[in-house]
Amino acid sequence: MKFVSTRSAEIENNASCAIVKGLAEDGGLFVPQFFPDLSGDIDKLCEMDYAERAAYIIGKFLDEYQTQELLDACKAAYGRFEDGDPAPTVKISDDLFVLELFHGPTLAFKDIALTLLPFLLRNGADRIGVKEEILILVATSGDTGKAALEGFKDQKGIKINVFYPSDGVSDMQKLQMRSQKGENVNVVGIKGNFDDCQTAVKKMFSDRRLKTLLANKNVVLSSANSISFGRLVPQVVYYFSAYCDLLTAGEIEKNEKINFTVPTGNFGNILAGYYAKKMGLPVNKLICASNSNNVLTEFFTTGTYDTDREFYTTMSPSMDILISSNLERLIFELSGRDHKLTEKRMSELKETGRYEISAEELSKLRADFDAGYCDEEECREEIFEIFEEYGYLADPHTAVALKVCQDLSYGTKTVVLSTASPYKFTQNVLSAISGKHVKDAFSAAEVLEEETAAPIPKQISDLRTAAVRFDAVIDKNSTEEVVLKFVSEK
């Protein structure tokens, strides 16, 4: 299969090139030329385990990768998850299910893609003859950074530099990144928010001068953010897998349409659900759940994307985003794959902070999506109420989605995507559950375990004695200097 840029009809690459490059030369995002139809394959997928489902679905897009190599890579990646199941579906009530995506090495849904991406990237680079060292640049709002660091640590021929908002992640998320092991990793805080991190990274990808300087050092850039199709495609799998699991368990009938409610920041997670629907998965509505940074809710309501608003730092930091990069891929599809119109809108966003879609496009958007948001107080209440009523312990991101789900599901069976372990946000979850305020994250974890009987994950316990390796915090305009220094280190 070939991949095209959202901003230029002339840019066309195979899967390996698209994954290695991460971002198209024109600043656009790579999208597949078409979406494979899997509507007749649901029964077949039901008979497979998760790794087999992943290899089958991903292989439809990455058809140049050898089938057995891809299957072996999926088995190796997902064998690192608790009980070998990266995406179990938990029944909350007759109409409500939670798809738990946090059972991987770093306790976040990003693990599902980032345990597999090193194979996709290295294999793709070898396939197209890339001999240079690959430098992966990552902007993170909390979870992507640690998952990418863990996935790529000590990978031969690869370095990875992660930028995070210094005051915009939880204590546990920050410690996870700053204590990361590996000889090929670098972690740097930025004075600002996630949008500042993301803008800095995207700017470096389009900076020809920087690329020349890196080329002189025998280095090429790549990405592990969800702007990379290699990050996005593994996420399509768990939508199909959840549907298959519900069908196999007798919770739904064949071809029954269900909703998926997704806590949404950079729009990659819910976009994967949209891709699954375009591939034939029986989806009724994809419900986009936002926190107080509700730019997406307004967009789905009005058709206007406007970032000129107050930015909130919340207890669900992975959603503290005003510029949702993956929305560009959806805009491209809504426009009838109009490269020029998509490029125009992205230019308007860069220059004015806003753009609008047409009434016809908004109608198409509403046919597939609904959207709502949940403020901080409602999030706390939801954490408490879902635990009180069902005994289910939810992190703040999942709580946002659960609240929006109750507002918008309309009685249709709904799967809520749970994106992180509650133990990554111990103080906030404990406060919501019990009213107790414990400043230290590890002490809070111990109290939370006592209050709920939910065991502290080993990944959290091990952090207590982890040594901090990276404590640098820089201005957002100093990222290029950091990157050049990092690639010069042996």
- pLDDT digit string, tens, across residues 385-423: 999 999 999 999 999 999 999 998 678 999 999 999 999
- The model's pTM: 0.94
Tell me if residue 110 is catalytic. yes
Pick out the chain residues at pLDDT < 50: none
Instruction: Tell me what pLDDT residue 489 has.
Output: 86
Sheet with 283-290, side-by-side order of all strands: 89-93, 96-100, 414-418, 258-263, 283-290, 369-373
Any idea which residue has 């920050």 for tokens?
174
* Length, in residues, of the chain: 490
Instruction: Tell me what pLDDT residue 335 has.
Output: 97
Torsion angles phi and psi, residue 417, rounded to 5: -85, 120
Please give the CATH architecture assigned to the domain spanning 88-107+236-457: 3-Layer(aba) Sandwich (3.40)
Among candidate residues 44, 91, 110, 436, the one labeled active-site is 110
Instruction: Tell me what pLDDT residue 11 has.
Output: 86
Instruction: Tell me what pLDDT residue 490 has.
Output: 66
